[in-house]
Amino acid sequence: MSNALTDYLSKFTEADWLAAVDELLPCVHDVDKDALQIWFRFYPLDLKRYLDAAEDRAAAELGVALQGKFGLEDKIDSSHHFLYGHRYWKTVKAAIEAETVVFKESTPTLIEEIKAIGMAVAEKLHVERQMINAMVIIGLATLNQVGVEAFKAAPGEVEQPKGIMAKSPNAVIAERAKDDSQGLFGFLKTVNKKYSVAWENAKSHGKFTIVNEQEISSASSNDRSQNWQKQDERCWEGVVPVECVAASCGTCWVGVLGGAEKLTEVSRRERRAMKVFGYNQPEGDHPFLRLACQAKASGNATIVIPAWNAVFGKKVRGNVEDVELEPNTTSAKKLRETLAAAVSAE
């Protein structure tokens, strides 16, 4: 089922949505600026359209080495759990639903449509518009990907924020920027400084300890406090899914919500690998997407873990000449062979 609003939204490409995100950023509160950009990388429209258009969906998923749970269909009310604005979802969703009834394509730009809905919601909730805009563009992108029927069928209920997310937006930013104390004489320590990585995934949240200059994935694998594979079958050890630990498979990609500047700079290898995988990593030495097996921490960091991974840069985005990957483990090698076989079969 489509209507004037979904017809209008369907005209925009992935690049259009990302351009709208960039244009909207000055009108988004700092607490959600990176989270908004991460959300659009976790739910890429072009990969969804590629898979939807495939005659054989299972073969197409195999062809891009997709693992985990991709897509928004079962996450309409939850995909944005890591945004501060998540708490306003019920009202944002209701406003978008109302817009599906009255929308006429006289609105000249996507950004104006977003801001108009954002203004109405902000007035209703008595909240600053910059707290709402990110949720509106995410809501419209979700509607575009799942359709009116599924969008309306979702209950729109969200859990009340807990932990540091229950604080003010500026307190959340300050909390994420803080490092763990090293004790009374911590300033004398040159080795064995210990920090924390706070994480969120689709089902849960928590923290693990990281030693100074340790890779995030290595620190995650030391945390044996839960049966991680029960939460996500990609998690062999620790909450961050890993496979090759050598920037060759893309399994360990994470969004960085805080402490990005305390992670080592992106190497040429990591930057190149992210293009091959299709994760659309922005330029910059300390971006908001990282490979956990490459990023070493020298302070506290806050990450969000996506529910899937794939290698789709070449097939879907055409942004790399060749798939240049060097498998380091048997299972990573198998993953690459699957991909190579799918590519050569075309």
Which residues are at the interface with ligand FES (CB under 6 A)? 242-245, 247-252, 291, 293
What is the DSSP track for 184-224?
A: TTGGG--S--EEEEEEE-SS-EEEEEEETTEEHHHHHHT--
Tally the C-alpha atoms within 13 A of residue 255's C-alpha that lie toward its C-beta.
Answer: 26
Q: Residue 119 or residue 246: which is nearer to ligand FES going by CB?
A: 246
CA dist., res. 169 & res. 245, Å (int) = 34
Q: Residue 9 or residue 274: which is nearer to ligand FES going by CB?
A: 274
Tell me how far, at minimum, the Cβ of 329 lies from ligand FES, in Å: 8
Cβ atoms 170, 143 nearer than 8 A: no
Q: Residue 130 or residue 220: which is nearer to ligand FES going by CB?
A: 220
Q: In a 10 Å sphere around its CB, with 0-12 CB exposed, 13-18 middle and 19+ buried, how is residue 101 labelled?
A: exposed
Q: Residue 32 or residue 270: which is nearer to ligand FES going by CB?
A: 270
Tell me how far, at minimum, the Cβ of 227 lies from ligand FES, in Å: 20
Q: Maximum distance among all alpha carbons in the chain?
A: 65
Give the strand order in the sheet containing 301-304. Answer: 205-211, 194-200, 301-304, 253-258, 289-291
| Residue 68, H or E segment | strand 67-68
Cβ atoms 208, 223 nearer than 8 A: yes
10 Å Cβ neighbour count for 1? Answer: 8
**Cα–Cα distance list, 321 to 92, 269, 314 (Å):** 41, 15, 7
Q: Kindly give, in sequence order, each residue whose CB lies less than 8 Å from that of residue 192, ignoring residues fewer than 6 positions away.
A: 211, 212
Tell me how far, at minimum, the Cβ of 272 lies from ligand FES, in Å: 12
Q: Residue 43 or residue 253: which is nearer to ligand FES going by CB?
A: 253
Tell me how far, at minimum, the Cβ of 243 lies from ligand FES, in Å: 5
Q: Residue 96 or residue 216: which is nearer to ligand FES going by CB?
A: 216
Q: Residue 51 or residue 325: which is nearer to ligand FES going by CB?
A: 325
CA dist., res. 82 & res. 210, Å (int) = 21
Tell me how far, at minimum, the Cβ of 231 lies from ligand FES, in Å: 18
Tell me how far, at minimum, the Cβ of 309 lies from ligand FES, in Å: 9
CA dist., res. 122 & res. 133, Å (int) = 9
Torsion angle of C-alpha atoms 218, 222, 224, 229, degrees rounded to 10: 10
Tell me how far, at minimum, the Cβ of 139 lies from ligand FES, in Å: 32
Tell me how far, at minimum, the Cβ of 221 lies from ligand FES, in Å: 10
Tell me how far, at minimum, the Cβ of 36 lies from ligand FES, in Å: 24
Q: Residue 136 or residue 244: which is nearer to ligand FES going by CB?
A: 244
Going by C-alpha positions, the residue among 87, 90, 86, 117 that lies closest to residue 9 is 117
Q: Residue 75 or residue 336: which is nearer to ligand FES going by CB?
A: 336
CA dist., res. 315 & res. 317, Å (int) = 6
Q: Residue 49 or residue 317: which is nearer to ligand FES going by CB?
A: 317
Tell me how far, at minimum, the Cβ of 26 lies from ligand FES, in Å: 33
